[in-house]
Amino acid sequence: MAAKPPTTIQRRIVVAAGICVLAFSTIGLRLVDLALLKSRQGGTAGIAENDTVVRADILDRNGRLLARDLPVYDVYARPHDFWDKAEAAHGLAEVTGADEQRLARAFAGKHNYVLVAKQVTPVTREKVMHLGLPGMEFQPSTKRFYPEGDASQVIGMTQAGNGGSGIAGIEKGLNAQLAAGQPERLSLDMRIQYALLHSLEVTRAKYSARAAGGIVLNVNTGEILAMASQQDPKRHDYNPTRNIMAADDYELGSVFKLFSFALALEDHTITFDTTFPVGAGFKIGRFTIHDAERMPAVMAAKDILAQSSNVGTAQIALRSGPERQRAWLQNLGLLQSTHTEIPERARPLYPSNWGQVETATIGFGHGISVTPLAFVTAAAALVNGGRRIQPTFLKQDDDRRGEQILKPETSLRMRELLRYVVTNGTGKNADVPGYDVGGKTGSAEKNDHGRYIAHKLLTSFCAVFPIDNPRYLVFVLLDEPHGESAVMALAGHTAAPLAGDVIAHIAPMLEMPTSVAVPGKGNS
């Protein structure tokens, strides 16, 4: 019996089934294609927008945005969907900034997917969509933006890519907290940071220095309000991202005399009026210590610091002796690395054999190298009543002074000495009317393979204000400044006016009351 031909209904069922099979096959192939794309692009092509990893914000102490993750997109195209591949390449290049020739070549090939541009902003994404091109896809991600580049050496950076880990600065030091979505408010004040950076830039250029750096520190809370450094871009080792104030050691020279005087006052080995023979130099062992400038035959201790005599300071340091000096510097934290929320740090360099000669030279800041951050941390204790502080880049709400490490009366005497240096000594160019600045100059010959070079100086100034009740410390340094003469390159003519310029700019921002009438200001 012959089979009956299929009815119309049966034929329609077969056709419909075929269409369904074709449709599901197409969908299956598309899913395979997407899976392959995902594999090719590191397994992230299918990330949904609500799955992107968002790193927390970093803010300055006043809530100013320093770092934030913002949404971006990687743009992909399916060239086979384009009606006109050349026109598509031209349009996409125009709105994304991609190379038009690269896109044209890629679209003309056999690629199913082509990466058009990486990490475009939402605005650019909208422009792409307005082109009306078929076959466009957007892979969501995030990119770290830093709207305040003036603090980049402290803030650091992250690895490129979605949810990248911190690799420097605060981004690395507080990586776990930021990755967990915990915003961080820093101690930095971007107004102070900008003022410091501006003064450093101007002064470095004025004296053609290799580098310049500075720190502004609250001596009672340990908060770092500003930290910056500038390098000569012509240097062969120029690295604008390097934080030389935390990561580099320096023989700071005469600013280190502060610690010798504080120890002598603490142990009552001198008074302000104790006299020492100075003018003829000081012989110790086979060495003779001299001063950079001519000094009187005999000087009182207060004038030894005010005029920055190496000869006088060496004798004062020797009254303490090697063991006591070393223990003193150890207790001040100068013989170990200084730890903060940033990973950048360096170990101090000092002699393993600490004898009489070493005690004399360390007394005036030669033969020992420390970071500027370590120096200001120790110097703060000399003026804040004698209490230890922990430097921090996080905003604090109260006084964080710790244990007593020198007597309050020693701290008071040191403040008197620092003011005397500014009113009667080498620090005159750092004085700012109304703010009662105290401070100390430092001019150190740089050590080149064991030999000190007279015309290569590191100059610095440590300023504290207001000196009767200190709140802020400003430290600045210049690496190889060039003055009109050797004398004009010394710290009193280079670093001291730089510190004064910084204070003049930041004191009003900090709402510091003035002790006398200042032009344009009333008494307060």
Cite the active site residues: 254
383 in Cβ contact with 217 (< 8 Å): no
Asked if 449 and 465 count as a contact pair (C-beta separation under 8 A), the reply is no
3-state secondary structure of 282: strand
Give the DSSP letter of residue 253: G
Helix (H, G, I), strand (E, B) or coil at 52: coil
Q: Which residue has the tokens 């809370």?
A: 221
d(CA 434, CA 431): 9
b/e 10-19 (16+ beta carbons within 10 angstroms → b):
eeeeeeeeee
Q: What is the DSSP string of 297-322?
A: SEEEHHHHHHTT-HHHHHHHHHHH-H
- CA–CA gap between residue 205 and residue 187 (Å, rounded): 28
Residue 170 and residue 181: Cα distance in Å, rounded? 14
Picking from 201, 253, 272, 214, the residue whose alpha carbon sits closest to that of residue 415 is: 272
Q: How far apart are CA 401 and CA 144, in angstroms?
A: 35
For 82, the token pair is: 């384009």
CA-based angle 385:389:392, to the nearest 5? 140
> How many other C-beta atoms lie within 10 A of the C-beta of residue 61?
18
Three-state DSSP state, 473:
strand
Instruction: Count CB atoms within 10 A of the CB of residue 294.
Output: 6
The H-or-E segment that residue 261 falls in is helix 257-266
Q: Which two tokens stand for residue 24?
A: 């599901």
193/206 Cα distance (integer angstroms): 20
Strand pairing category for 58-59 and 184-185: parallel
Q: What angle do CA 362, 363, 364 make, to 5 degrees?
A: 90
Contact 222, 341 (CB under 8 A): no
How many whole angstroms separate alpha carbon 232 and alpha carbon 206?
12
SS3 453: strand
Cα 121 to Cα 215: distance, rounded to the nearest angstrom? 36
Report the 10 Å Cβ neighbour count for 29.
Answer: 10
